[in-house]
Chain A
Amino acid sequence: MTKTKKLLDFQFPARADQLCQVRQRLREAMGACSKSEQLVNCVLLAVGEACMNIIQHAYGKDEQGDIILEVEKHGSNVVVFRLTDFAHHKTRAQDMQSRPLDEIRPGGLGCHIINEVMDEVQLIECDSDCGNVLQMKKRLRKARH
């Protein structure tokens, strides 16, 4: 059975001014997993993009609430990031798809970044009327073929 270690469980208000602190906490947590500055920067970016999506699209302008960021290390090679929100807006899987990059326009790059950086991105079904759970997995080392 794979050993799971909780690295972070952090609840914060879904606001843009919180993102700096989220990155700080996440960087500390990732310090236990990887010494690769490039990998850690990519993870910070992707999780930041996912938080931004929740702030801008799940809660939007009319709703306020919290986000919970959980980080777990599964075994020696997989880190799982889980973002839970409590918004009334239900995010659909198609909302998480990348847009074509040959359209040069501002915005819409967040999902592309998440999908590029993470090895798995999945919206988890939740029973309650409110909220979304986004789970992302990152392998620290790629399998050798």
Chain B
Amino acid sequence: MQTNITSTASYDLLTLSGEVDLHYSPTLRENILGSLKAGKPLLVDLAQVSYIDSSGIASLVEGFQTAKSAKLGYGLLNVSSPAMQVLTLTRLDKIFALYTSTDQFETALQA
């Protein structure tokens, strides 16, 4: 798994690539919670994720809950097919806010 965080004026964008499993999910959790702790909305780009297991999904859920408590915007961007398969299996595709562009997320933040 590789991660990259870029900051815009209104939100952080965390880009993930590769395989997210139990070995890497603690790093993902740190990245997500660290970013939200700074008080900015977070968009997690999953376009390049080729595999994600329930430990990776747990980190995304923890981010969702943390953002909700802090009233910060939070969403998933361009969810790859393997990642969507897991979200669908766990029915979390109905829980997360899913976006297909950063513009969509920015619009949602302003709403």
Contact = CB atoms under 8 A, between A and B. Distances in A.
B54 A110 contact: yes
In which size bucket is the chain B interface?
20 to 34
B98 to A, nearest CB: 15
A23 B51 contact: yes
A106 B91 contact: no
Contacts of B61: 104-106
Interface string A16-35: 11011001000000000000
A41 B54 contact: no
Given A16-B23, A41-B85, A42-B85, A52 B65 contact: no
Contact of A109 (B21, B23, B82, B90): B90
Contacts of A19: 21-23
A117 interface: yes
Given A38-B85, A105-B65, A113-B54, A20 B59 contact: no
Nearest to A98: B90
Interface in B1-36: 19, 21-23
B62 A106 contact: yes
Contacts of B21: 16, 19-20, 48, 52
> Do most interface residues of chain B lie in helix, strand or loop, or is the interface mixed?
helix
Interface in B46-93: 51, 53-55, 57-59, 61-62, 64-65, 82, 85-86, 89-92
A45 B92 CA distance: 16
A116 interface: yes
A15 B74 CA distance: 32
Contact of B23 (A17, A106, A107, A110): A17
Interface of A: 16-17, 19-20, 23, 38, 41-42, 44-45, 48-49, 52, 55-56, 101, 104-107, 109-110, 112-113, 116-117
Interface of B: 19, 21-23, 51, 53-55, 57-59, 61-62, 64-65, 82, 85-86, 89-92, 95
25 contacts: A16-B23, A20-B19, A23-B19, A41-B51, A41-B82, A44-B51, A45-B51, A45-B85, A49-B54, A52-B22, A52-B53, A56-B22, A101-B90, A101-B91, A104-B65, A104-B92, A104-B95, A106-B59, A106-B61, A106-B62, A107-B54, A107-B58, A110-B53, A112-B89, A113-B86
